[in-house]
Amino acid sequence: MKPLRVAMLGCGVVGTEVAARIVDRSEALAERIGAPLELSAVVVRDLAKARPGIDESLLTTDAETAIADADIVIELMGGIEPAKTLITAALDQGSSVVTANKALLAAHYGELMSAADRASVRLEHEAAVAGAIPIIRPVGDSLAGDRIDRIMGIVNGTTNYILDQMDSEGWDFDRALSTAQELGYAEADPTADVGGHDAAAKAAILSSLAFHAPVSSDDVHVEGIEGISAEMVATAKDQGFVIKLLAVCERVAESPAGPGLSARVYPALLRRSHPLASVRGAFNAVFIEAEAAGELMFYGQGAGGAPTASAVLGDVVSVARRRVLGGRGQYERPFHEDSRILPISAITTRYHITLDVVDRPGVLAAVSEVFADEGASIELMRQTVGEVDEDEMQHAKLVLATHSNTEAALARTVERLGDLDVVRAVSSVIRVEGQ
């Protein structure tokens, strides 16, 4: 068959790896697809920049012409614009698109998928979530006949490395972060990672795909790990927990705001027996709870040039085979535009609260009264004697584990606990996920 022409937008670390594999593995890819792939153009911003291994005759700054001449477009530019305009143009002309652009998909998932469906082409994006881990296709295709109720994932390798080092080595946050930067796991400006924003974009994509609803990154409640201290990690370890930055996407049948969907990212406690608790270093994992399939977990490298290139090429082979064999566009079902995205205040969760209290009679009664007033309940209470402070007053650490309560009730409870005379400080508040 005549070769399928492939235009690539962007040529950074991942793009260079993808281009090299298309050329070096041309025969094997042609056998899998049923037609050869021909890299027709590589769109870059700066033609003068050296790109070892890339045929200079393929380099161009003219994205529109490159797209017009392509059967398949690989978008690796990142950002919202001009990526969105270029992808839309490619879809509208009938070219299938492969992208790793999580920011764009998190903002415009439903719109772009609908455009692909109208043109009867594919928009594949396996590399946008969890790198080389195959999660998008299993959720979108393999589990299409099932009902996914909940997804909980470690989808940012930088934060997982930091928290893992704090847990296993006893490091503080600053040391773990600086080491992650030295090893190349964290950027010079790590805000997107440690602030939870990278994970939030991935949570939006997973929610949109699993629940077939247009969930954007603006719908995701986000908290980062900047406030996690070595003491919090040590306390969690003593209680049989590990702290992980989790992306949680779920269907909620009942809440004060009614049924709906929830997408949230925050550091949370996991029992060490939970499968996600054993995910170490910069690895990622996604844990799915489905109605018929039950519990499933996908694990692997979530970042890096080679793993991400592997996911991109898997998508390229998929769309190329579909183009050779023929087939529909993206989905047979419409997006549920009226899906309710619930606020974090309506979610039911559990807390572990650590208080620095004055060690004197009446402390436990005062704390219990606040819980009772707010309709919250305590599952476990543990007190350890602390040191005598500069005023010669004995103080203690009080660790409270709550039963499931609404986020709003627990937030009010914590606020009132901080106002008690017997409470010197609310040392930490962290949610509990998993069983």
Is residue 331 in some structural domain?
Answer: no
Per-residue CA distances from 368 to 129, 137, 141, 415 (Å): 43, 48, 49, 14
Query: Are residues 94 and 190 located together in one domain of the fold?
Result: no
Predicted local distance difference test score (pLDDT) of residue 210 = 94
Predicted local distance difference test score (pLDDT) of residue 141 = 86
397 is in an annotated binding site: no
10 is in an annotated binding site: yes
Query: Are residues 146 and 292 located together in one domain of the fold?
Result: yes
Domain limits for position 157: 140-301
Q: What is the pLDDT of residues 75-87, one digit of tens each?
A: 999 999 999 999 9
49 is in an annotated binding site: no
Q: What is the pLDDT of residues 17-38, one digit of tens each?
A: 999 999 999 999 999 999 999 9
Predicted local distance difference test score (pLDDT) of residue 50 = 85
Predicted local distance difference test score (pLDDT) of residue 330 = 56
**Residue 333, pLDDT above cutoff 80:** no
187 is in an annotated binding site: yes
Per-residue pLDDT, averaged over 288-316, amounts to: 91
**Residue 387, pLDDT above cutoff 70:** no
**Residue 360, pLDDT above cutoff 90:** no
Predicted local distance difference test score (pLDDT) of residue 1 = 77
Inter-residue contact 244 to 119 (CB < 8 Å): no
Is residue 342 in some structural domain?
Answer: no
Per-residue pLDDT, averaged over 95-124, amounts to: 93
Number of folded domains that form the chain: 3
Is residue 229 in some structural domain?
Answer: yes
Q: What is the pLDDT of residues 191-250, one digit of tens each?
A: 999 999 999 999 999 999 999 998 999 999 999 999 999 999 998 999 899 999 999 999
11 is in an annotated binding site: yes
**Residue 57, pLDDT above cutoff 70:** yes
**Residue 132, pLDDT above cutoff 90:** no
**Residue 52, pLDDT above cutoff 90:** no
Q: Is the peptide bond before 3 cis (omega within 30 degrees of 0)?
A: no
Query: Are residues 294 and 317 located together in one domain of the fold?
Result: no
How would residue 338 be classed by pLDDT, with cut points 50, 70 and 90?
low
Query: Are residues 226 and 177 located together in one domain of the fold?
Result: yes
Query: Are residues 287 and 173 located together in one domain of the fold?
Result: yes
Question: What does pTM read for this prediction?
Answer: 0.91
In angstroms, the CA 136 to CA 127 distance is 9
**Residue 2, pLDDT above cutoff 60:** yes
Residues involved in catalysis: 202
Query: Are residues 114 and 145 located together in one domain of the fold?
Result: no
Predicted local distance difference test score (pLDDT) of residue 37 = 97
Per-residue pLDDT, averaged over 352-369, amounts to: 92
**Residue 390, pLDDT above cutoff 90:** no
Q: What is the CATH number of the domain that holds 71?
A: 3.40.50.720
Is residue 135 in some structural domain?
Answer: no
Predicted local distance difference test score (pLDDT) of residue 82 = 96
Write out the two tokens for 232. 């919090």
In angstroms, the CA 99 to CA 322 distance is 17
Q: What is the pLDDT of residues 142-161, one digit of tens each?
A: 998 999 999 999 999 999 99
Q: What is the CATH number of the domain that holds 292?
A: 3.30.360.10
Query: Are residues 237 and 311 located together in one domain of the fold?
Result: no
Predicted local distance difference test score (pLDDT) of residue 334 = 56
Average pLDDT across the chain, whole number: 92
102 is in an annotated binding site: yes
13 is in an annotated binding site: yes
**Residue 337, pLDDT above cutoff 70:** no
Which of residues 257, 292, 325 is at a domain's end?
325
Query: Are residues 154 and 269 located together in one domain of the fold?
Result: yes
Query: Are residues 146 and 275 located together in one domain of the fold?
Result: yes
Q: What is the CATH number of the domain that holds 415?
A: 3.30.70.260
Query: Are residues 147 and 291 located together in one domain of the fold?
Result: yes
Query: Are residues 289 and 168 located together in one domain of the fold?
Result: yes
Query: Are residues 144 and 117 located together in one domain of the fold?
Result: no
15 is in an annotated binding site: yes
Is residue 120 in some structural domain?
Answer: yes
